[in-house]
């Protein structure tokens, strides 16, 4: 898998080691000599309290937010061939819990309607889901990651 960094962006919601609450990234200060390092000014949500120059390594991001950013910004870097009937920009990431309370990340994508489900198509979608899950699990440590497909449904007319 390709290595890449997810530097913080202004407006992103994060936590910070040693601080209680959720913060908004106000301004970022990248280290020009070392990629992936820097600091950020953080504002506590709902207040005007600002914590200046927090190192990026001290930022805490929810795993579902990290995975959504990977899917939105770095999908090509994952090195996965996408089946032709998977709709682009249809990936949804949700955080939740398993039946026994462990953290879980669910990722769904939509496939185009009207394409008959054959054994070959089912295998292709299953392989794609498995590869995607395998590539995304490192971004959500200590979480169960599941990937599944949804088929877009056509609207039915009330007159029919």
With respect to residue 159, please indicate whether it lies within any of the assigned structural domains: no
Instruction: Give the domain-ending residue among 42, 60, 78.
Output: 60
pLDDT, one tens digit per residue, over 111-141 is 988 888 889 989 999 999 999 999 998 888 8
Please indicate, yes or no, whether residues 54 and 67 belong to a single structural domain of this protein: no
Is residue 2 domain-resident?
no
Inside any domain, residue 81: yes
Q: Are residues 109 and 93 in the same domain?
A: yes
Shared-domain flag, residues 77 and 119: yes
Residue-level pLDDT at 1: 43
**Low-confidence spans in the chain with pLDDT less than 70:** 1-5, 154-160
- Which contiguous run of DSSP H or E holds residue 128? helix 119-136
Domain extent for 29: 13-60
Q: Does residue 127 share a domain with residue 114?
A: yes
Sheet holding 144-151, edge to edge: 92-97, 103-111, 144-151
| Same domain assignment for residues 28 and 67 | no
The answer to whether residue 5 sits within a structural domain is no
Same-domain status, 130 and 112: yes
96 and 109 both lie in a single domain = yes
Do 116 and 67 share a structural domain?
Answer: yes
Are 146 and 75 found together in one domain? Answer: yes
pLDDT tens, position by position, 24-38:
999 999 998 888 889
Helices 63-73 & 119-136 angle (0-180, nearest 10): 120
Rg over CA atoms, the chain: 19
Burial of 118 (0-12, 13-18, 19+ CB in 10 A): exposed
In a domain, 1, yes or no: no
pLDDT for the residue 2: 45
The pLDDT, as a whole number, for residue 36 is 80
């Amino acid at each position: 898998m390709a290595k890449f960094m997810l530097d913080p962006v202004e407006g992103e919601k994060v936590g910070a080691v040693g601080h209680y609450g959720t913060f908004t990234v106000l301004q970022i200060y990248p280290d020009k000599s070392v990629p992936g390092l820097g600091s950020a000014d953080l504002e506590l949500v709902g207040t005007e309290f600002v914590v200046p120059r927090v190192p990026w390594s001290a930022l805490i991001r929810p795993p579902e937010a990290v995975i959504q950013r990977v899917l939105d910004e770095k999908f090509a870097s994952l090195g996965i061939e996408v089946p032709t009937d998977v709709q682009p920009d249809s990936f949804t990431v949700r955080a939740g819990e398993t039946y026994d309370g462990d953290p879980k990340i669910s990722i769904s994508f939509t496939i185009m309607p009207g394409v008959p489900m054959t054994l070959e198509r089912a295998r292709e979608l299953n392989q794609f889901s498995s590869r995607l899950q395998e590539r995304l699990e490192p971004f959500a440590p200590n979480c169960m990651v599941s990937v599944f497909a949804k088929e877009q449904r056509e609207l039915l007319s009330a007159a029919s």
